[in-house]
Amino acid sequence: MQFARIALIGAAVFWTAVADLGARDGPKDWTVLENCRLIVNPANDGDSFHVSAGAKEYIFRLYLVDAPETDEMTPGRLVAQAKYFEITVPQAIEVGRAAKEFTREKLSAPFTVFTRMSDAMGQSRLERFYAFVQTKEGDLGEQLVRNGLARNYGFKAVPPGLRNSRVEMEKLQQFENEARQEKIGGWGVNIGRLNAPAGVSGPFSHFGSNQKPQGLGRPAASPSFSSTPRPPAQTAPGGTPNPNKSHPKANTPLGKIDINTATEKELTTVPGIGHVMAARIITARPFRSADDLRRVSGIGDKKYAQVRPYFQ
């Protein structure tokens, strides 16, 4: 009898511990939050944003996709994103800001969130969770990738309605390949084909209102894209190419800035370089290499170590 009592107590302790572990890890089943609204917040970007669901506020980070950063606060990540899209760091920031506007426009109407409350490790006072987000036009991550505003890269999960993540990842890769081939979004920023969301300066061309995603508890359907033409490369008045549009040099390493040709706008995207310092750098040209930044007034050893990695 005593042995049986001890065994029962031990089992109770074991299952209590398991329950606590499950609570920390989040529920295994998907939590579906409907009629969600985007909360305007400066920290929002293309793949991470504040959301209200009823009376509660959350921060969600999209599964499986990664949009470029919108500022220079995470330089290592920005350089990696720029290399992926084969563009410069300032251009990556430009793509990130376009992705942020795209997400803001797509989430201007109520949307649905699918989450398991898995920790996405944000820096806000609010905990951030991974999620799939369903808009009236389909899965938000798919829309970002198809328009060249995010890469098929990120924390993996099996979407609701699917048996494994491979199906969705292959679909995202197909969308990325198509965006790259069509040179849109980050893949077309060098030729002026970084589109803007509807209501900003022109409509994105893909994922019309008839688009249905696979998984996420919705019927699967083949992709159906709008035939709205994309805008041509930016031109100056008179139809000639805009001379102020920056393009990376053929011999510039991916993600790096050319010290002798960078514009003031590009220079000020580097952490530690403001408008005054950018003007000094431009005045001090030409440089034999970026190592000569040391001779610019105001760039000491500490500043040099901070900014040098951004230049070829």
- The answer for residues whose C-beta is within 8 angstroms of residue 249's C-beta and 6 or more apart is 258, 261
Q: Is residue 119 within a helix (H) or strand (E), and if so which, with residue range?
A: strand 111-119
Dihedral sign (CA 17, 21, 22, 24): positive
Nearest to 41 by CA among 24, 25, 54, 57: 57
Mean pLDDT taken over the chain: 77
* 282 or 4, greater pLDDT: 282
Calpha distance 284→272 (Å, rounded) = 17
Choose between 142 and 235: higher pLDDT: 142
Q: CA–CA distance from 124 to each of 60, 100, 136, 185 (Å)?
A: 11, 18, 28, 29
**CA 49 vs CA 109, 126, 207: distances in Å:** 15, 11, 21
Q: Convert the pLDDT of each residue in 127-147 to its tens digit.
A: 999 999 999 999 999 999 999
**C-alpha Rg value of the chain to the nearest Å:** 24
Cα diameter, the chain:
96
Task: Return the number of other C-beta atoms located less than 10 Å from residue 15's C-beta.
Answer: 10
Instruction: Specify the amino acid at residue 102.
Output: F
Residue 31 tokens, joined: 């939590």
Closest CA to 264 of 252, 248, 275, 255: 275
Share of the chain above pLDDT 70, in %: 71
Nearest 5°: phi and psi at 272? Answer: 95, -5
Q: Which residues pair with 65 in a beta bridge?
A: 152
194/92 Cα distance (integer angstroms): 11
Q: Over the stretch 84-125, which tens digit does the pLDDT of each residue have?
A: 999 999 999 999 999 999 999 999 999 999 999 999 987 778
- What pLDDT is recorded for position 194? 76
Runs of H (alpha helix) within the chain: 2-25, 75-85, 89-106, 140-146, 166-182, 264-267, 275-283, 301-307
- What DSSP element (H or E) covers 299? none
At residue 195, the pLDDT reads 61
- Sorted by sequence, the CB contacts under 8 Å of residue 16 that are 6+ apart come out as none
The pLDDT, as a whole number, for residue 36 is 97
d(CA 232, CA 191): 9
pLDDT confidence band for 76 (50 / 70 / 90): confident
How many separate helices (H) and strands (E) can be counted in the chain? 8, 8
Please name which of 217, 186, 158 lies closest in space to residue 78, comparing C-alpha atoms: 186
pTM for the model stands at 0.61
